[in-house]
Amino acid sequence: MVSLKTNLCGIELDNPLIPASGTFGFGYEFAEIYDINMLGSFSFKGTTKDAGFGNPTPRIAECKNGLINSVGLQNPGVHKVLENELPKLKACFHKPVMANVSGFSVEDYVYTVKMLDSEPQIGWFEVNVSCPNVHGGGMSFGTSPEAAAEVTRAVKAVTNKPVIVKLSPNVTDIVAIAKACEEAGADGISLINTLLGMRIDLKSKKPVIANKMGGFSGPAIKPVAVRMVYQVYEAVKIPIVGGGGVESAEDVIEMMLAGASAVQVGAANLVDPMACPKIIEDLPRVMEKYGIKDLKDIIGGAH
């Protein structure tokens, strides 16, 4: 028998599969298709202090081996999430869930985490620092080690739950930012978020997406994700959640060999809602093929 179990910041998971925020709603939508309790966990839709209406349409552009999206932080706001979304989630998911939190100022992050902190089902906070800092000239918090560390410290001060910082790959030195978050008290690092991409429509001769550019995800970005997980694993001592282009059991093994303790699946959920169950079901076969008895033994195995 092979063991699919893994551990993320002190919480044991039945398997390493975690659908990524923004590709799985609040879980109950997918619960109509399959029993989502088979997942390790999932990261729910990015939540902000106030309701967000997202970006103008069109927001999606298909491309070879990937997808570009510019949905924006569309969500009902933390109060409505507590009131409406989490009770529906609780009815169909009986494991700790990852709360993905976004903000446009340090105070936004702190407010949202404080509001969600008393929810017993929330096991981890995944803090998305790819948001534009409205008080810092609009540059993303995640592009500066100092800004990422400031958010990390502020959030850590208002919760005892594990804080996993989700980093943007659109930087020159991912390692410096990961180390700054670790030094500021982060319990884990999640990477990567989407790359920046765009498509141009040949008929209209204009960008396909109203926002011009958007987050590029899908299988084409996996080599970048594996490289960044590998680099960060060499530099930090805290666990890593790896993701980016994962769509098979083989991809999960590769991400864990690079250094991931758990693995997120994003765009694949949008292509095939059954992507995660299929990967979980196939993991034992692939583990046996490569002589792997216990997934925990291979974390960072490529180093």
The reply to whether the predicted model has a pTM over 0.95 is yes
Tell me the C-alpha distance between 183 and 188, whole Å: 11
Ramachandran angles phi, psi of 277, nearest 5°: -55, -40
pLDDT score recorded for residue 91: 97
Cα separation values, 144 from 102, 106, 139, 173, Å = 16, 14, 9, 10
The whole-angstrom separation of Cα 265 and Cα 42 is 9
- Domain range summary for the chain, segments of one domain joined by +: 6-55+73-196+217-298
Write out the two tokens for 230: 């590998």
pLDDT at residue number 223: 98
Topology (CATH) of 6-55+73-196+217-298? TIM Barrel (3.20.20)
In this predicted structure, what is the pLDDT of residue 203?
98
**Distance between CA atoms of 183 and 2, rounded to whole angstroms?**
36
pLDDT of the residue at 130: 86
- What integer pLDDT is reported at residue 165 of this predicted model? 98
- Single-letter amino acid code for the residue at 177: I
Task: Decide if 6 contacts 13 (C-beta within 8 A).
Answer: yes
Which residues are identified as catalytic? 131
Strand 6-8 to 11-13 pairing: antiparallel
Low-confidence ranges of the chain (pLDDT < 50): none
Looking at residue 174, its pLDDT comes to: 97
Phi, psi angles (nearest 5°) of residue 61? -135, 125
Predicted confidence at residue 278, as pLDDT, reads 98
pLDDT of residue 73: 87
Dist. CA 251–CA 247, nearest whole Å: 6
Residue 104 confidence (pLDDT): 93
Secondary structure of residue 217 in the 3-state scheme: strand
